[in-house]
Structure 1
């Protein structure tokens, strides 16, 4: 079975105290250690990055609403190209690519790069919670499984446990992949939200583990 790490939204606006939408208690040291472990052992890293334009409908500063009338009124965060959009220092492998949130693009060459060990990290841009709202994410994972020719096992960490981490882990589990959440390399918004998310993930077959258990 091929292990792949999944880095969910480990960006400055979420994970650093100065960030505009800081998730309190973000375990950045644990996240860095997981990335370093993956790089040292040639474990591929897939991930997501929240990517917005200045006038995103999620923001309280705009009048726009979501496709179903949503208006969460978040502060401006993860605007692409700003310091807050960037990955936390130490959480990028030496060779990586960002995949835009577009309807179609050639992904086969990137899949081949990952399988050959040339590209170590692939990060899918998204606007809402799930990694899989990027239309290229699902076909990329399927193609990766086909190219490896063996089952895939995903190890998930990041922020926030009760939002984007939950969505990524459930999305993987629903697609039939063995999925593990690293609890001490993740953080959530509220205790109640985290407890509910963990319950949902367990019910979907997601395993819970600590960093020491996934990095023996």
Structure 2
């Protein structure tokens, strides 16, 4: 089975990664430059698709959400807090998914939220869909429909997801779990992640993930990952493995 290689970037937004962000994850600013360097090195021919996940909240509803009981409003749609802190230009087949919950695999809340601005209303309706442009989508596909189309069949056994971003113990965790449940393999670039209470090695040490370690789940650092890519290029060129 031919592999489909996906790069997923999770919540690398100003609200989490800049010290003046509304929900700064301590130390996250330190991964911006290494993440940009990594992205420069994987632009050409490494991945088939790029999925960019954006935490996306709306003042019109935030106070009524579970997050609103714990965290201040952050990554509000259309603000600088919501914007990406990294350069994703030149990455292949980019699609964006906006979410107003921790888990990218959740469903949009069903309650009716009043919006006076039609642009904000449209952005809210786009939650949990993959779009080609988070500002003015020309293409909009429901999340599960998009995922099924990546590798038609009963599961995603031929899909390899490489994931980084914030936060290790919240959104990254749930993203990883969803891909594993759907049959994909997951590699976490651990030095390009940052957690609120737990870092990636601590998360993966939890007992519920041990069944996947060594088969469909692993964590590597960016240097090791890039070295693997270089070795793979040499092997393909020489015909040796």
**TM-score (normalizing by structure 2):** 0.67
Contact 2:35 2:86 in 1 (8 A): no
Indicate how the Cα distance of structure 1 residues 9 and 129 shifts in structure 2: closer, same or farther if over 3 A, else same: same
SS at match of 1:78: coil
**Among 118, 124, 137, which residue is 2:97 paired with?**
124
Contact 1:170 1:204 in 2 (8 A): no
CA positional deviation for 1:42: 5.3
Q: Kindly tell me the number of residue pairs found equivalent between the two proteins.
A: 182
Structure 1 residues not aligned, in runs of 5+: 96-116
**Aligned runs of 1:149-168 on 2, under 5 Å?**
151-168=158-175
In structure 2, distance between residues paired with 1:155 and 1:35:
12
The structure whose Rg is larger is 2
Structure 2 residues not aligned, in runs of 5+: 107-127, 130-141, 228-241
Higher relative contact order (CA 8 A, sep 6+): 1
**Aligned runs of 1:1-216 on 2, under 5 Å?**
1-26=3-28, 27-41=31-45, 43=47, 44-57=49-62, 62=63, 64-66=64-66, 71-90=68-87, 92-94=88-90, 120-133=93-106, 134=128, 136-146=142-152, 151-191=158-198, 196-200=202-206, 202-205=209-212, 206-216=217-227
SS at match of 1:146: coil
Indicate how the Cα distance of structure 1 residues 65 and 3 shifts in structure 2: closer, same or farther if over 3 A, else same: closer
Deviates more, 1:196-205 or 1:4-13: 196-205
Contact 1:173 1:204 in 2 (8 A): no
SS at match of 2:176: helix
CA positional deviation for 1:125: 0.3
**TM-score (normalizing by structure 1):** 0.75
Contact 2:12 2:86 in 1 (8 A): no
Over 3 Å off, 4+ runs: 193-196
